[in-house]
A and B are shown apart, each in its own frame.
Chain A
């Protein structure tokens, strides 16, 4: 069974934010929420790196472990999804997530939060596949359409890889071997307790 993963080749990312824009547009994400963000480390200094980050769909996801209403579930292809009908917007998952993936719409004064929103790996939610009900809550279900997350498909420098973990690891290995360097698979050790050896 294929295990879905994200891999950002930081040596290729040029911080264009196309992945962020593509995601917002594809899923009609509400104002103030970014399911994906580009983080730049050592900005303006030698060794500067930009990494596109979103929910990494962790193995043994910490968000699911801390959820008091058990609204998270993992699909057979290892995509971590959640039910907005069950979510109470407590914010525990936000504190537990090592990638800062969970986002909350601001629904009123005094910091009150709405239902949590996060990357769905373009796989929708618990509603029937490719229905309007699913689209309104979670966005497009590209995986059910036989496609991959749009952020990766849109990436202009092919820095962001998505799909079967073994295949994208192999692609990354080939790149590192060809160009002679690579800064590693960012977040893989934290998310999947493994790394890519070249």
Chain B
């Protein structure tokens, strides 16, 4: 391969490399962004962690009622 052909080949690969790099960067940004959102949704604040979850629903009332006999 002559020097000129080599340079031409490198330019072509360089273009592909640039294209791939841009795609990867976009994908990485998307993944990092999604991760940050999931992280924020996954962890509760101190007040949320300690809040009461018990509710006297019909389901719970039925449990109390059926346990009386």
Size class of A's contact patch? 20 to 34
B7 at the interface (CB under 8 A from A): no
Contact of A77 among B41, B49, B54, B66 (CB under 8 A): B54
Binds A, one of B13-21, B26-34, B56-64: B56-64
Picked from A123, A144, A158, A164, the residue with its CB within 8 Å of the CB of B67 is A158
B51, B52, B53, B63 interface centre (most CB from chain A within 10 Å): B53
CB-CB contacts of B33-50 with A at 8 A, as 1s and 0s?
Answer: 000000001111000111
Interface residue count on the B side (C-beta < 8 Å): 21
Any A CB within 8 A of the CB of B4: no
Contact A171 B67, CB 8 Å, known A73-B50, A126-B44, A131-B42: yes
Partner of A76, one of B41, B43, B52, B56: B52
Q: Is the CB of B57 within 8 A of A129?
A: no
Q: Which residues on B sit within 8 Å (CB–CB) of A127?
A: 42-44
Q: How far is the CB of B69 from chain A (nearest CB, A)?
A: 9
- The 4 A-B pairs with the shortest beta carbon distances in the complex, nearest first, are A146-B57, A76-B52, A77-B52, A143-B53
Mind listing 14 A-B residue pairs with CB under 8 Å?
Answer: A2-B56, A75-B50, A76-B51, A79-B53, A126-B49, A128-B41, A128-B43, A128-B44, A141-B53, A147-B59, A147-B60, A163-B63, A163-B64, A167-B64
